[in-house]
């Protein structure tokens, strides 16, 4: 079994989502001995955001590509192969301004390749990357799971949508929210997340 461990928080050791992904991976390895883990730090090695030059290279002949386009296409292919080879993907996804870090979005933009992770048919789009388990470590400074604040959630909702679009229906969330609402609230959130980690990594 192959597990891809991804972090995207820019807060290094102060990151709640990084603490959660580390615990999820450790718990998964404990319950699934022999799991092979690959690690990708999207904050430390951030993918370039798509540009007209990078995106255009996907639709032009290889012999016309400049050095930047060659390098970026190679990087995209590396991300795709790593993602497609994984049986389990653990994604650290803190909420930044109601959504995900731009580094994480840039990585997802590289994966969204017609013919690789999805295809269009007469009946509509079909995901091609099914059969995986995705576990998202979701950290939030406030509380957005309540009905009053749920309309502001463009983090978990987006990740569910995009992974479903890729054909992945087993998307699980370990959530720690309210972590900026005082030490007691943070401690309660982390304790709840720990209980969920044990359950979801089974």
Residue numbers belonging to the annotated binding site for FMN: 9, 15-17, 95-98, 139-142
Q: Is 10 exposed, middle or buried (0-12, 13-18, 19+ CB in 10 A)?
A: middle
Decide: 83 and 42 in contact? Cβ < 8 Å: no
| Strand residue runs (E) in 9-63 | 36-41
Give the orientation angle of helix 67-85 with respect to helix 102-111, to 10 degrees.
90
* Residue among 137, 116, 117 nearest 179 (CA): 137
Q: Which residues contact 17 (CB under 8 A, 6 or more apart)?
A: 7, 8, 9, 92, 93, 94, 137, 138, 139
CB atoms within 10 A of CB 195: 10
Binding residues: 9, 15-17, 95-98, 139-142
How many CA atoms are closer than 13 Å to the CA of 73, on its beta-carbon side? 17
**Partners of 119 in the beta sheet?**
126
């Amino acid at each position: 079994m192959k597990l891809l461990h991804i972090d995207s928080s820019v807060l290094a050791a102060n990151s709640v989502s990084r603490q959660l992904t580390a615990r999820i991976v450790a718990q998964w390895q404990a319950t699934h001995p022999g799991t092979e883990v690959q690690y990708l730090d999207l904050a430390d090695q951030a993918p370039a955001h798509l540009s007209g030059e990078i995106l255009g290279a996907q639709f032009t002949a290889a012999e016309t590509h400049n050095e930047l386009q060659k390098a970026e296409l190679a990087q995209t292919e590396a991300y795709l192969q790593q993602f497609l080879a994984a049986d389990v993907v653990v994604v650290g996804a803190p909420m930044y301004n109601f959504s995900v870090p731009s580094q994480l979005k840039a990585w997802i933009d590289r994966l969204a390749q017609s013919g690789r992770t999805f295809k269009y048919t007469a009946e509509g789009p079909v995901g091609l990357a099914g059969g995986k388990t995705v576990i998202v470590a979701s950290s939030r400074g406030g509380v957005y799971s309540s009905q009053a604040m749920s309309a502001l959630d463009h983090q978990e909702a987006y990740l569910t949508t995009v992974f479903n679009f890729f054909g992945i229906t087993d998307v699980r969330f370990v959530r720690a929210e309210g972590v900026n609402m005082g030490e007691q609230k943070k401690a309660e959130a982390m304790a709840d997340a720990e209980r969920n980690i044990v359950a979801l990594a089974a």
